[in-house]
Structure 1
Amino acid sequence: MSTLTDRIPVMVPYLGIEEEQAAAEAVASGWIAQGPRVAQFERAFAESVTAAHGVAVSSCTTALHLSLVACGIGPGDEVVVPSLSFIATANAARYVGADPVFADVDETTGNLTPDTVREVLGPRTRAIVLVHQGGVPADVRAIKELAEPLGIAVVEDAACAVGSVYRGAPVGAEAQVATWSFHPRKLLTTGEGGMLTLDDADRATRLRRLREHGMSVSAADRHASAGPVFEQYLEVGFNFRMTDIQAAVGLVQLGRLAEIVRRRRELAAYYHALLAGVPGLRAVRDPEYGQSNYQSFWVLLDPDFPGGGRDGALARLAERGISARRGIMAAHLEPAYDTVKHVDLPATERITRDSLILPMFHTMTSAQQERVAAALLEPVASGV
């Protein structure tokens, strides 16, 4: 039996004294709500993905919601989404009154492809939410070549993909609009929080209004004014703001990003070496057109993989003090969406049924990775 001290967690945020000091400085400044640090973080993050504008918000979920509002998606419209994604991807379509339409994914990358999207396009399709699943970049250009001639918006759900590379540039560099998550499970964290990045200045201005109740003048600008300011509420908006405390942490984290990605790719390379050549096991890898940040290191097992397949592997790892997770969920199998009609989704169902996410965190040691691999492969080694 393992003890609490020798348990291997699935993920540990990489935070240090610098983040602590930055948050304390924000508190000491007296400006803790959305303010100058948020604006600084927006500029720095947008620059890091070579976008013209960043709009910080309270989560990637609210970023997805706002992106569809800004694209004019509403009741009667259909939004193509992968079922193989955290449920927020599909929920965002429902938030604006649209109908999510589930498309299948490529079994190797876990991402939408032109073929899987084409299968579900219809006269009411107005948008596609293209997820970079687990940090593996999706083939953005291929999807845009399909969507743009039809007038279909493409929103990139890059929640897991900060630091990933697509065709030599950061994921998000070619986005009409990209959405990002800073949840603790992500490489760059602010505790909670999210961001939209885009190049359209007018749309960015509107998004900033929408996140702050639709006000014509932000709270920060009102407080900075030497005279009275009488704001207007130009449309129905939301309270989706980020705080300066979060942004202060985010700025420090952004400075660590290259180091974090380098370390995760190093860890992934060792997992690949430990798991190479195992029959019935396939580990996630870079696609030919990009590089993953390995936000998640997932493996796909054959249903008859020794030791009880995926579920047996999860139980075995847990018994040995190793925290792993089931693979990526499938929204169409959840009660919230079980009445939504959909095409057959064989790759989605295969991945969600037979995959698991292995532990990976910045301070993980080679010995810990070896322990994970040994537990996973124990039935193979023993010939069970």
Structure 2
Amino acid sequence: MPTIPFFKPVIDEDTIARVSEVLRSGWLTTGSVCEEFETAFAKYVGAKHAVSVNSATAALHLCMASLNLKPGDEVITTPYTFVATAEVIEYFNAKPVFVDIREDTMNIDEGKIEKAITSKTRAIVPVHFAGQPCEMDEILAIAKKHGLPVFEDAAHVTPAYYKGRPIGSISNGACFSFYANKCITTGEGGMLTTDDDELAAKFRILRLHGLSRDAIDRYQSKGSWQYDVIAQGYKYNLTDIAAAIGIGQLAQADRFWEERKRVVKTYRELLGNKDDIQMIEELEHNQSSWHIFPIRFKNHADQKRDELIQKINAKGISTSVHFIPIHTFTYYREKYGYKPGDFPNAYNAFRRLITLPVYPGLKDEGVEYICGTILEDLQ
């Protein structure tokens, strides 16, 4: 019986050599390698600025910090995302206002956003679920009408394209994740992209304690030990060690993407015509990164879905569920009084969904084994 992990990163010898070079350099934390990674990433997504951080959560937090949120302010987002998207809003005692998802793409329903806007709304945070872009033209038009910034949760992206435009170059800012199982990885890490000079400068200050100078400027022979604290900041900087991994990963991002698309194509061919299985639609004007590949069962919800996952896992296949809707968590239910059915599309998707393995090293025969197992267990 084969064993198929949910995800397995691809780290080549060139990347290992880059990390070794950093380890031997004598400078391990944020420095010239981070700058190199930032420059390469900004070019890759077509953004003017890229600011490296130690997680996508940190990137989202810095976006919220740039808004000067106050208690009672509101930020619109989706309940169908990892909790970090809402968590960073809560940091400021502001309120995440959820808008239900579309059934076809599982992204935020752009047609319902405007009804959620109030006098307290300060921003919109769309999440590109599974790596498929949200309907950004509509979202940006709504935001412009109401004078709101848009910050994208692009944790599932690298790369993805909306009407030919790369995600990372469209809104006020986009937040990327380089967590261990993401499209490209630095182990832990993230990136913030923006075309706004002032915003980029603010992000750089906030990511390291609000200091006026980075460590490399203070500790190298040509630098100065003097610095000032000019804002309330955080400890969110990325290390040169992680950036070295990122440079190696970014160089292979397109190849990784082609491999993930191959895996998804095979899933679609083998599972796409089955009555009990519903797949995410990839809209014609979108190109998804396919960070993950979730499927929904029409006749297997709740306990039946969980039993099916157990059967699949017992045959050596690791799966997951993306996501548990945020409004169903105890903290959010108790604080805001949410009920599971308040966002029916999100809740119904969660009840019937499993996420299948997608990664560059997953061979066609592995995908065929996964699909065969699912179809056998559905009978």
Is TM (by shorter chain) over 0.5?
yes
Q: Is the 8 A contact 2:312 2:377 kept in 1?
A: no
For the 8 Å contact 1:56–1:241, the answer to whether it is kept is yes
Question: Partner letter of residue 349 of structure 1?
Answer: Y
Alignment of 1:110-125 (within 5 A): 110-125=106-121
Counterpart code for 1:284: I
Distance change >3 Å, CA 225–CA 151, structure 1 → 2 = farther
- Where do 1:42-81 residues align within 5 Å? 42-81=38-77
Residue 269 of structure 2 is aligned to residue 273 of structure 1: yes
CA distance in 2, matches of 1:167, 1:175: 14
Offset at 1:177?
0.5
User: Which residue does 2:368 correspond to in 1?
Assistant: 370
* Displacement of 1:308: 6.9
> 2:241 maps to what in 1?
245
Give the aligned partner of residue 330 of structure 1: 325
> Does the alignment pair 1:311 with 2:306?
yes
Q: Does structure 2 conserve the Cα–Cα contact (< 8 Å) formed by 1:286 and 1:292?
A: yes
Q: TM-score, normalised by structure 2?
A: 0.95
Give the match for residue 345 of structure 2.
347
TM-score (ref. length: structure 1): 0.94
Matches within 5 A, 1:1-384: 2=1, 6-224=2-220, 226=222, 228-304=224-300, 309-339=304-334, 340-341=336-337, 344-380=342-378, 384=379
Residues 249-258 or 308-317, more deviating: 308-317
Q: 2 CA distance for matches of 1:196 and 1:349?
A: 30
Tell me: CA distance 1:379–1:252, structure 2 relative to 1, closer, same or farther (3 Å).
closer
Secondary structure class of the residue paired with 1:90: helix
Q: How far apart, CA to CA, are the structure 2 residues paired with 1:379 and 1:300? A: 15
Q: Provide closer, same or farther for how the CA distance between residues 310 and 327 of structure 1 changes in structure 2, counting only shifts above 3 A.
A: farther
CA apart distance, 1:251: 0.4
C-alpha distance in 2 between matches for 1:360 and 1:243: 28
Q: Counterparts of 2:145 and 2:70 in 1: how far apart (Å)?
A: 21
Q: What's the secondary structure of 1:282's corresponding residue?
A: strand
Amino acid at match of 2:242: Q
Give RMSD over aligned pairs: 1.7
Q: Is the 8 A contact 1:163 1:258 kept in 2?
A: yes
SS across alignment from 1:152: coil
The structure-2 alpha-carbon separation of the partners of 1:351 and 1:227, relative to structure 1 and needing over 3 Å to count, comes to: closer
SS in structure 2 at match of 1:19:
helix
Task: Classify 1:323/1:203 alpha carbon distance in 2 versus 1 (closer, same or farther; 3 Å).
Answer: same
Gaps of 5+ in 1: none
Indicate the larger mover: 84-93 or 218-227: 218-227
Q: Contact 1:134 / 1:295 at 8 angstroms: preserved in 2?
A: yes
Q: CA deviation at 1:309?
A: 4.2
* Consecutive unaligned residues in structure 2, runs of 5 or more: none
Once the two structures are superposed, residues 321-356 of structure 1 have per-residue CA deviations (whole angstroms, 9 ceiling, x without a partner) of 111112322111111211224582010001111111
Distance 1:232 1:200 in 2: 24
Identity percentage over the alignment? 32
Cα offsets for 1:231-287 (capped at 9, x unmatched): 110111111110000001100100000100011101111110011210021122322
